[in-house]
């Protein structure tokens, strides 16, 4: 008699698709795996109909209870990591209680999936001697054209019009954008001061649009910046068309325990929206070195200010590479390989 295929469910503390980690590490791969015929669903929809549970962004009390119950009932636990919570805790951004839940789920896991090889190495150093199977699966990237993801609200349309007016007031400038969260000294606005000074030193006038979720922090920082700055609230529906209104994304990164294991997402998202990128180097960005200005701010600014056919062709090659490696189908195949290992173990 043929052994029935195992059933999988995917748990997260929140299934909010406005969170990039949920879109890239749960929603997109789950949909692609289901389309491949894998018996898989969100855990909240089928909590008892599962042989193995995948945990994504799961550090809460409920996640730990589910993991402990899974261990007690013989279900397989797959723990998916996209951030270094140990480093975040040392920086004061993760509580002791949350870190201990994280540590406990790691100890229960049969399989651990990491978003980057660097993150896998970091966690191995934090918890030497672990026996769980280790896998690396990248985030799914949105490789489609930069379009509105939903019908924009009146507020979102007004925000886009304000941005358009700002850019029009500086029509001859090189329009740059920074987007993301600001996390104290570890990442975000803390690294923009030096980047803005580099922009200000460029021969061509520049503008900087900041797309984020911390308006007050930006006002405090922007008061000392010598370039025209515009704040744009991050909205899921308008995020990609907002990026596409610019020529260049800047990605300043301070290399530290928190950023070392981060994914390729930020520069890749900009490239896929049609932008050039000037970035500082972290391990995951190295595969983009043939296509973008990695660590070369003056040269990169000159390159994207010219915007010649060579630059545009190089970025087209980058988009093709990213689509092939990080599109939904390609990443789903890697998740399929993980699940095949789970079946065999």
| CATH number of 313's domain | 3.40.50.2000
- Whether residues 168 and 312 share a domain: the answer is yes
The predicted model gives 75-90 an average pLDDT of 96
- Whether residues 86 and 187 share a domain: the answer is no
The radius of gyration of the chain's CA atoms, rounded to the nearest angstrom, is: 21
Residue 310 has pLDDT above 90, yes or no: yes
CA angle, 150 as apex, 149 and 152 as ends, to 5°? 115
Distances in Å between the alpha carbon of 326 and those of 2, 19, 20, 75, 236?
34, 18, 15, 30, 20
- Whether residues 130 and 255 share a domain: the answer is no
Query: Regarding predicted confidence, which is higher, 344 or 185?
Result: 344
Residue 116 has pLDDT above 70, yes or no: yes
Q: Is residue 19 part of a domain?
A: yes
Q: At what angle do helices 309-326 and 297-306 cross, to 10 degrees?
A: 110
Q: What is the pTM of this model?
A: 0.93
Q: Is residue 44 part of a domain?
A: yes
- Whether residues 23 and 114 share a domain: the answer is yes
**75/73 Cα distance (integer angstroms):** 6
Indicate the SS3 state at residue 161: helix
Task: Round the average pLDDT of the chain to a whole number and report it.
Answer: 92
- Whether residues 332 and 302 share a domain: the answer is no
Q: Provide the strand spans (E) within the chain.
A: 8-12, 40-42, 52-56, 76-81, 111-114, 133-136, 174-179, 206-212, 229-233, 248-251, 276-279, 293-294
The tokens of 226 are what? 């010598």
Residue 1 has pLDDT above 70, yes or no: no
- pLDDT band, very low/low/confident/very high, at 3 (cuts 50, 70, 90): very low
Indicate the SS3 state at residue 231: strand
**Number of Cβ atoms within 10 Å of the Cβ of 201:** 12
- Whether residues 90 and 191 share a domain: the answer is no
Q: Is residue 192 part of a domain?
A: yes
pLDDT value at residue 159:
96
Give the range of the structural domain holding residue 133, as residue numbers without chain letter.
8-140+327-344
Residue 145 has pLDDT above 80, yes or no: no
**61/98 Cα distance (integer angstroms):** 8
- Whether residues 64 and 194 share a domain: the answer is no
The predicted model gives 53-64 an average pLDDT of 96
Q: Is residue 147 part of a domain?
A: no
- Whether residues 85 and 226 share a domain: the answer is no
Block residue for tokens 């209680």: 97
CB contact at 8 A, 8 and 39: yes
Main-chain dihedrals φ then ψ at residue 174, nearest 5 degrees: -80, 115
- Whether residues 332 and 227 share a domain: the answer is no
Query: Regarding predicted confidence, which is higher, 321 or 2?
Result: 321
Q: Is residue 30 part of a domain?
A: yes
Q: Is residue 149 part of a domain?
A: no
- Whether residues 108 and 247 share a domain: the answer is no
Residue 81, strand partner residues: 114
Residue 296 has pLDDT above 50, yes or no: yes
Residue 301 has pLDDT above 90, yes or no: yes
Residue 212, strand partner residues: 233
Instruction: Indicate the range of 165-174, 184-193, 313-322 predicted with least confidence.
Output: 184-193
The DSSP symbol for 184 reads T
- Whether residues 123 and 244 share a domain: the answer is no
The predicted model gives 187-194 an average pLDDT of 80
In percent, how much of the chain has pLDDT > 70?
95
295: left (phi over 0), alpha (psi -120 to 50) or beta: left
- Whether residues 128 and 189 share a domain: the answer is no
> How big is the chain, counted in residues?
345
Block residue for tokens 């000074």: 197
Q: Is residue 115 part of a domain?
A: yes
Domains identified in the chain, total number: 2
Report the DSSP pairing between strands 111-114 and 76-81.
Answer: parallel
- pLDDT band, very low/low/confident/very high, at 222 (cuts 50, 70, 90): confident
Q: Is residue 72 part of a domain?
A: yes
């Amino acid at each position: 008699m043929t052994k029935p295929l195992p059933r999988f469910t995917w748990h997260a503390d929140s299934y909010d698709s406005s969170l990039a980690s949920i879109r890239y590490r749960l929603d997109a791969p789950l949909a692609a795996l289901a389309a491949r015929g894998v018996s898989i669903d969100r855990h909240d929809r089928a909590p008892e109909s599962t042989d193995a549970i995948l945990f994504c962004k799961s550090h809460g009390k409920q996640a730990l209870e589910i993991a402990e119950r899974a261990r007690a009932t013989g279900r397989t636990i797959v723990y998916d990591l996209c951030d270094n919570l140990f480093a975040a805790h040392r920086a004061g951004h993760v509580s002791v209680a949350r870190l201990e839940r994280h540590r406990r789920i790691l100890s229960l896991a049969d399989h651990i999936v990491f978003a980057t090889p660097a993150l896998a190495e970091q966690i191995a150093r934090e918890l030497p001697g672990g026996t769980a199977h280790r896998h690396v699966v990248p985030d799914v990237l949105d490789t489609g054209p930069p379009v509105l993801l939903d019908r924009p609200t009146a507020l979102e349309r007004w925000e886009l019009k304000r941005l358009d007016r700002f850019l029009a007031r500086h029509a001859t400038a090189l329009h740059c954008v920074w987007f993301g969260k600001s996390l104290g000294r570890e990442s975000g606005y803390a690294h923009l001061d030096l980047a803005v000074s580099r922009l200000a030193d460029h021969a061509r006038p520049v503008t900087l649009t900041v797309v984020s979720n911390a308006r007050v922090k930006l006002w405090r920082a922007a008061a000392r910046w010598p370039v025209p700055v515009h704040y744009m609230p991050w909205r899921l529906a308008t995020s990609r068309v907002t990026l596409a209104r610019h020529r260049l994304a800047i990605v300043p990164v301070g290399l530290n325990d928190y950023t070392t294991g981060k994914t390729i997402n930020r520069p890749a998202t900009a490239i896929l929206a049609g932008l050039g990128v000037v970035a500082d180097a972290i391990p995951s960005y190295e595969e983009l070195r043939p296509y973008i200005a990695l660590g070369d701010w003056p040269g990169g600014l000159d390159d994207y200010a010219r915007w010649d056919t060579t630059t545009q062709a190089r970025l087209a090659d980058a988009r093709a590479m990213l689509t092939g490696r990080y599109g939904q189908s390609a990443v789903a195949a890697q998740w399929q390989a993980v699940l095949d290992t789970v079946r065999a173990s």
